[in-house]
Amino acid sequence: MQSGSTTPQVPAGTARYQRELQTGIQAVRLAAQLCRSVQAGIAAPAAAQSVMVKEDRSPVTVADFGSQALICAALHQAFPDDPIMAEEDAASLALPQNGAILSAVTRQLQQVRPDASSDTIRSWIDRGRTREFRERFWSLDPIDGTKGFLRREQYAISLALIVDGRVELAILGCPNLPQSCDSSNSSEATAAPGLIFHAIRTQGAWSVPISDAEPAPAPASLPASLHVSLESAPARARFVESVEAAHSSHSDAAQLAERMHIVRPPLRMDSQAKYATVARGDAEFYLRMPTRADYREKIWDHAGGMLLVAEAGGTVTDISGKTLEFHHGPELLENRGVVASNGVLHDFILAALRR
């Protein structure tokens, strides 16, 4: 895979959202550094002080709060009028029993932002508290796949710019994703993991190693262009799904695979790294099957990955074939589940689901 420079290169005449892209990539790269630092200490005796449990019983870590604080601060500095719709809020950090978590977040952020204090960190986090639809706003999941993060497996930092209900820009940081699943290329197989994926609507999808997203004294290679798989035979397809059965119905996915005569085992990983896997052709489709009738997906879990797959030549809809709608606040209220595919197999997958 080719390495890249700080400023992603796109064809001439396609300069839309370049400032937003550069700001977002720099912020996501900085957040990835913080996440790696926190993850490295998970096995330490004091690791329990880095994790708390929210009301919905999902875990949230020092890295979730730190990542959101860094990215929200960067976006507010560059685009002070832009609202941000992010997953976390700082209310729990004000509770006395979570003082150790707040102290740990502060220590981590002060390594990259010496001006960070407990109060400013809480204010940065709460810049992501927008919950109403706006004509232009950012969607942010500071760590998508927190359980994968805790297992030292796959997680993602997902940032998207939504304008008039349409995802225009996506940045997906995947600090643990290998450079390539193709081990036949020795240089890629031995390269350090970690990629930043990015896409702008109508301008294609690209990836760059996280290490190469840092400022360099001399121009580096162009980012690598992403393209979905061209596999058209359903039986030869490979799909990717969530590790957690609570996130997506494994039994429904298994029935679908049987109907399509798929023999290859599914890839299972956490987070929107699944979208990246489809976008770069390592799998033909991703299934997010509803686990209950009343559940609706959160926009920050899909906005970044959806545009990435679409700009790589794929197709993303809900399980009934409807386009994902991003103008109903924090949830995809008019959609159920998600199917992201290479496009060639999309109608076949939807037909199999209907059966």
The residues assigned a catalytic role are 64, 146
Pairing label, strands 239-241, 166-174? unpaired
For 11-48, give the DSSP string. Answer: -TT--TTHHHHHHHHHHHHHHHHHHHHHHHTTTSGGGG
Determine which helix (DSSP H) or strand (DSSP E) holds 238, and give its type and residue range.
none
Q: Is the dihedral of CA 351, 339, 205, 311 positive or negative?
A: positive
Calpha distance 140→303 (Å, rounded): 9
Calpha distance 237→343 (Å, rounded): 12
Calpha distance 293→254 (Å, rounded): 19
- Given a contact cutoff of 8 angstroms between Cβ atoms, the answer to whether 136 and 99 are in contact is no
Q: What are phi and psi of 170, to 5 degrees?
A: -135, 140
Type of residue found at 72: C
Q: Which two tokens stand for residue 243?
A: 């590790």
**Of 46, 290, 34, residue with least CA distance to 155:** 34
**Of 355, 345, 150, residue with least CA distance to 244:** 150
Calpha distance 159→74 (Å, rounded): 12
Torsion region of 281: left, alpha or beta (phi above 0 gives left; psi -120 to 50 gives alpha) = left
Determine which helix (DSSP H) or strand (DSSP E) holds 240, and give its type and residue range.
strand 239-241
